[in-house]
Amino acid sequence: MTAQIIDGKALSAQLRTEVAARAAALKAKSGITPGLAVILVGDNQASQVYVRNKVKACEEAGFHSVLEKYDAAMTEAELLARVEALNNDPTIHGILVQLPLPKHIDDHKVIETISPAKDVDGFHVASAGALMVGEVGFKACTPYGCMRMLESIGMKDLRGKHAVVIGRSNIVGKPMAMMLLAANATVTITHSGTADLGAMTRQADVVVAAVGKRNVLTRDMVKPGAVVIDVGMNRDDDGKLCGDVDYEGVRQVAGWITPVPGGVGPMTITMLLVNTMESAERAANA
């Protein structure tokens, strides 16, 4: 058996077309254009690419976007003041501070300064809490994208399914587990303290690998036919982008698999557009 591929690029293209249509409809109905502010501090090469791609995606969807770039010497107080100003800007419906931030800036403090009403990254404790108790809030983009990928293969309701999440970060592992739970899956969270990871993953109908380490999931750890979602972004020995999953091995046993690149990555930016759209619609209805 060779796994079928869940194509994040193709799904993204489809969802972005839908978002663009929603943006045009909102503009026609209420004169509101969804607006996203992206803040980048420092000169991290990968971050420069990601913020450019976010702004480009906004342009293609008909959104208004502003990219604020600051050098690494920006102080925490200056950054907090910029976030406060954007909180009070009615043309901005979403605020995103690109991570990682320089070490002298407390990212938690920055995220908590973003108004929960504009937290389109879904990182604020209010957003995490809303997800936990099933209230309205923004969902973290990467796990939200994973859920949409599952939905695209007919796995919206996971009742009776066992999902195993590898990784417990605040921005992927934990919200991923909450979203799977909300979709009625039986969820196991595994991490660096898990005694026998393979014993857990071999029971799983869905495995989400999100640790940032190559070959964390190999073919002997996967139940035949399982769905494998790879959130990892690593470099192999030749410098090529790869995920957390041993793709060539695992695709021999899995039923479905997401590639890296072209899987979860593009969905992260797409769900950012979806959240910003949602925020603008909420503002229009307020």
Ligand X SMILES: Nc1nc2c(c(=O)[nH]1)N[C@@H](CN(C=O)c1ccc(C(=O)N[C@@H](CCC(=O)O)C(=O)O)cc1)CN2
Query: Binding to ligand X by residue 36, rule CB under 6 A?
Result: no
CA distances (Å), 202 to each of 18, 164, 188, 253, 286, in order?
A: 37, 9, 12, 11, 47
CB atoms within 10 A of CB 134: 10
109 vs 147: CA distance, rounded Å = 28
Query: Binding to ligand X by residue 62, rule CB under 6 A?
Result: no
Rank residues 34 and 232 by Cβ distance to ligand X and give the closer one. 232
The answer to whether the annotation marks 198 as part of a ligand binding site is: no
Q: By CB under 6 A, what part of segment 259-278 binds ligand X?
A: 260-262, 265-266, 268-269
Minimum distance, C-beta of residue 99 to ligand X, in the bound complex (Å): 4
Rank residues 7 and 18 by Cβ distance to ligand X and give the closer one. 7
The answer to whether the annotation marks 16 as part of a ligand binding site is: no
C-beta of residue 119 within 8 angstroms of C-beta of residue 126: yes
Q: Tell which one of 98, 152, 188, 279 touches ligand X (CB under 6 A).
A: 98
Minimum distance, C-beta of residue 112 to ligand X, in the bound complex (Å): 14
Q: Which stretch binds ligand X (CB under 6 A): 130-138, 161-169, 221-229, 256-264?
A: 256-264
Rank residues 36 and 226 by Cβ distance to ligand X and give the closer one. 36
Query: Binding to ligand X by residue 176, rule CB under 6 A?
Result: no
C-beta of residue 202 within 8 angstroms of C-beta of residue 222: yes
Minimum distance, C-beta of residue 261 to ligand X, in the bound complex (Å): 3
Peptide bond into 102 cis (omega under 30): no
SS3 content of the chain, % helix, strand, coil (to 5): 45, 15, 40
DSSP string, 127-164: HHHHHHHT-S-PPPHHHHHHHHHHHHTT-S--TT-EEE
Rank residues 98 and 113 by Cβ distance to ligand X and give the closer one. 98
Minimum distance, C-beta of residue 97 to ligand X, in the bound complex (Å): 6
What b/e string do you get for 246-276 counting C-beta neighbours within 10 Å, with b at 16 or more? Answer: bbebbbebbbbbbbbebbbbbbbbbbbbbbb
Query: Binding to ligand X by residue 138, rule CB under 6 A?
Result: no
Residues annotated in a binding site for NADP(+): 167-169
State the residues that interact with ligand X by CB under 6 A. Answer: 50, 96-99, 121, 141-142, 233, 241, 260-262, 265-266, 268-269
